[in-house]
Amino acid sequence: EPEVTQTPSHQVTQMGQEVILRCVPISNHLYFYWYRQILGQKVEFLVSFYNNEISEKSEIFDDQFSVERPDGSNFTLKIRSTKLEDSAMYFCASRGQGRNTEAFFGQGTRLTVV
Amino acid sequence: AQSVSQHNHHVILSEAASLELGCNYSYGGTVNLFWYVQYPGQHLQLLLKYFSGDPLVKGIKGFEAEFIKSKFSFNLRKPSVQWSDTAEYFCAVNYGGATNKLIFGTGTLLAVQP
């Protein structure tokens, strides 16, 4: 069964550093998403990406964040100048065409900012 | 505002007990509804989904959910839980729009005691 894969599974970084979280969506999917889950809180939408551009972003997704699909297979989330409060589990998801399709999630990257 | 509520944050059951987890959502338009499960250390997996048609949907591992439009609810049920059902359960709603992002509930942590 096709799956969404994320690397790394766990990343520890120092405050102020930049991190790049990587995702390989399911190959024929067209819509890509990043969500995050701060420990003990709900899963929150960050950004959606379609046709090589951001289609929607949440209030959380400020100038500190950026996404890219550099080579047609990877989908990355870059967090510049990380803060302690960026510590969370970050999930990538992808979805096929049409509204009546479900999103498939990766296993997540646990980011710890120290 | 679009929101999803899960009223049970932590549920403890004995094996063979019946399970019902509540999920309510705001807004009365056309929605797609999902339950995801997250086993310890694993990614979000789809349990079941509702797009249209029969409001009683059956998912994997013996789970089912009933969509009651008048109550804006999509409660998850299982007649007899097993120890292996210990996990966190998330209700999620797609309210439509350009990106079809998911709005998640806060999650319910289910612990099944053998």
What's the CA dihedral at A78, A79, A85, A90 to 10 degrees? 0
Q: Write down the pLDDT at residue A2.
A: 78
Q: Write down the pLDDT at residue B84.
A: 96
Torsional sign, CA B54, B60, B62, B64? negative
- Is 70 exceeded by the pLDDT of residue B88? yes
Q: Report d(CA A92, CA A103) in Å as an integer.
A: 10
Reported as a single tens digit per residue, the pLDDT across B12-61 is 999 999 999 999 999 767 899 999 999 987 888 999 999 999 999 999 99
CB contact under 8 A, B46 and A91: no
Q: Report d(CA A102, CA B23) in Å as an integer.
A: 18
CB contact under 8 A, A99 and B32: yes
Pick B1 or B16 by higher pLDDT.
Answer: B16
Q: Write down the pLDDT at residue B28.
A: 61
Q: How many CB atoms lie within 10 A of CB B110?
A: 21
B11 at interface of A, judged by CB pairs closer than 8 A: no
CB contact under 8 A, A91 and B44: yes
How many angstroms separate the CA of residue B63 from the nearest CA in chain A? 17
Reported as a single tens digit per residue, the pLDDT across A25-36 is 999 899 999 999
Q: Report d(CA A36, CA A53) in Å as an integer.
A: 20
A41 at interface of B, judged by CB pairs closer than 8 A: yes
Q: Write down the pLDDT at residue B99.
A: 82
Residue A82: what residue type? T
Q: Write down the pLDDT at residue B35.
A: 97
A71-75, B8-12, B53-57, B94-98: least confidently modelled range = B94-98
- Whole-number mean pLDDT of chain B? 93
Whether a cis peptide bond, with omega within 30° of 0, leads into A2 is no
| CA-to-CA dists, residue A50 to A30, A67, A69, B92, B98, angstroms | 6, 11, 10, 21, 10
Which residue, chain included where needed, has tokens 């509204």? A99
Q: Report d(CA B21, CA B34) in Å as an integer.
A: 13
Pick A97 or B48 by higher pLDDT.
Answer: B48
